[in-house]
Structure 1
Amino acid sequence: MKNVLLINSSLNGEQGNSRQLSEQFIAELTKKSELAVTHRDLAANPLTHLTQAEMSAWMTSPSERSDEQNALATISDELVAELQNNELIVMGVPMYNFGIPSTLKAWIDRVARAGITFKYTETGAVGLVENTKVVILAARGGMYVGSDMDTQTKYLKDFFAFLGITDVAFIYAEGLNMPGAEQSKDAASKEISDYVSTL
């Protein structure tokens, strides 16, 4: 059985293009393999922006934490456990104002934990998350792949590499607010099918 973490962040819920692509990916993979899927919907259950109090709670020894610090630390602990316990992460990522949704950034801020998901050494940071693959289903209203305006691709690749995850694949559906949107979605759908067939 393959353990899969499905993360969606579209404000449009089930109607979101990135959500539909990620669910197609899971549906097709389910036909091929037996899956145990953990779904985290960051729009339906958004994370707040990270605060200094929450970060301090992580850095306080569990035996010395207050009840409030224990509650704050539990948020990140649960997200990190999901990251570590799933060998495949499937993410539906819309583009909002040239970046990722703020709720996804809030997730990123909580799973990047020094000494847990990465560590600093004399030669720089070393990722501690192993044997994990990431597939990102990216939906955009315009056309951005390969341009300086595509800030998502490099950022997400760099972030996951920081954690030790270098197997990161992107499938794009672009121009979804432009003429030819259906053809773009159909092309992305076919790419999903082709990719799943290789797993």
Structure 2
Amino acid sequence: MRTQSKGRANVSAAARLAVLISGNGSNLQAIIDASEAGDLPAQVALVASNRREAFGLQRAVRAGIPTLYFPLRPYLDAGRTRRDYDADLAERVAACDPALVVLAGWMHVLSPAFLDRFPGHVLNLHPALPGQFAGTHAIERALHAYRRGEIAHTGVMVHRVAAEVDAGPVIATVEVPIAADDTLETLEARVHAAEHILLVEAIRQALAE
């Protein structure tokens, strides 16, 4: 478990965000780009990941943002619980004093040990509309449902996190069309493009509330 930091000015001049990721970090990049362009009244104060190989950590380092690699495995190997992990992660995240904690491709269900530390201030991005395709592989499941004639489109939502997976008060949604000739790759690209726009807008809305 380690942190990295490079010099970065004026982080305190805007609302501070902690962004949790597990992978590529393209949505993190959208937040960074919007912040640097002045389109988002916030700056990322910390990027944390439970996976060392997450490319989003490299994106953060390149932008001069402090990073935290915080894996679950050492806790399990020591006979400790996921709740212990969540509580310690919350402590590390709280140290950057975030106005919001943004889950942008974070592949770990957080327990109340984390959520209760930031009540109402944890946002999650999910590649489906409210009430549809909770959990993993949401885009693939939406494509299969479309091919079965069960849905006409899919979408993306950003919501405040509750104990139930991919549930909680919705901040923003957008519909994403599905084409008859879509492959998983083409639909994923369309959904991800929508995510980048919606996430920035949802953060802006949440900060204004």
TM-score scaled to structure 2, two decimals? 0.47
Greater percentage in helix: 1
TM-score scaled to structure 1, two decimals? 0.49
